Amino acid sequence: MEITASLVKELRERSGAGMMECKKALGEAGGNIDVAMENLRKSGLAKADKKAGRVAAEGRIVTASADGFAVMIEINSETDFVAKDDGFVAFTAMAAKQALANKVSDVELLKTTAAEAGGTIEEARQALVAKCGENVQLRRMISLNTANHIGAYVHGGRIGVLVELKGGDAELARGIAMHVAAMNPPYNKAADVPADFVAKEKEIELAKMTDKDRAKPAEILEKIIGGKIAKIINENTLYGQPYALNSDLTVEAAVKAAGADVISYQRIAVGEGIEKKTEDFAAEVMKQAGLA
């Protein structure tokens, strides 16, 4: 059977593989596009398995939300170069879109979810690995299902935030999400700060005091320490921080002015917690050039 340009084009659209790879697969399959597609998938799986052990600490975070349901997904690559590639960006957007459409809340379930162009998300991932030559991983996802407002924000593809806001409006929810992305508060409100954290900070502040200060009456000493701890709690809580979109107000004041309340928030950053391999590019170039 003749391997026509239109047949190659159709296989490229179905598989996402390169032109020469599609032409070769069609030749080996005698022009049978279904067999060629199956062989490409097998080849993609083999390549994906081979690269699975390589560190993938770059990538993108994507969100999607509608009708009270939202997802936030981290998808990793080995290099920032691939993370910015159109094919990688399209894959991440498709994965988020399918997760939202099917209300998927677990990354393992997402892998078995249907992809837009056929097959599963996992098969689409394998095809992307074969195409870009890097390890690509669906690392984690967070979902939110609520009758409250959802604030979703991604900064530069590298930091993602989901916020659940009771009361207020969608604009305020997004503003809070932007604040969380920028300031990364460890805790929501003062009541959420662990007692051991407060005790440790009191211990530190007391140790920093001079003997003269420590000799002051207990009630005065308690007020001094109390003021310092209140400041530390404000710095470490969403509600205590100056609102990034209006520094004249704290987040708490901005939220309360709208008759709202932040129920929860989640913030993730690309590659956090992954030990990155340090590359000596000069040595690598020398090695490839046979000079080392």
Res. 25 pLDDT band, cuts 50 70 90? confident
Question: What is the token pair recorded at 5?
Answer: 């340009």
Lowest mean pLDDT among 22-26, 99-103, 175-179: 22-26
DSSP structural state of residue 276: P
Count the residues in the chain: 292
Q: Hey, what CATH topology would domain 54-145 get?
A: Tetrahydropterin Synthase; Chain A (3.30.479)
Res. 210 pLDDT band, cuts 50 70 90? confident
Question: Taking 70 as the threshold, does the pLDDT of residue 52 lie above it?
Answer: no
Q: Could you give the count of Cα atoms lying within 13 Å of 178 in the half-sphere of its Cβ?
A: 11
What string of DSSP letters covers 252-269? HHHHHHTT-EEEEEEEEE
Rounded average pLDDT over 141-167: 97
User: What mean pLDDT, rounded, does the chain reach?
Assistant: 87
- What local confidence, expressed as pLDDT, does residue 30 receive? 86
In this predicted model, what pLDDT tens digit does every residue of 105-122 receive, in sequence order? 999 999 999 999 889 999
Lowest mean pLDDT among 155-169, 224-238, 248-262, 271-285: 271-285
The answer to whether 157 and 80 have CB atoms below 8 angstroms apart is no
Residue recorded with tokens 């391997």: 3
Res. 277 pLDDT band, cuts 50 70 90? low
Q: Hey, what CATH topology would domain 5-51 get?
A: Helicase, Ruva Protein; domain 3 (1.10.8)
Element (H, E) at 66: strand 58-66
- What local confidence, expressed as pLDDT, does residue 170 receive? 96
Res. 19 pLDDT band, cuts 50 70 90? confident
- What local confidence, expressed as pLDDT, does residue 204 receive? 87
Please state the domain extents for the chain: 5-51, 54-145, 190-257
| CA–CA separation, 14 and 36 (whole Å) | 11
Query: Pick the residue with more confidence: 276 or 248?
Result: 248
Question: Taking 60 as the threshold, does the pLDDT of residue 127 lie above it?
Answer: yes
Rounded average pLDDT over 164-171: 97
Question: What is the token pair recorded at 189?
Answer: 């409100």
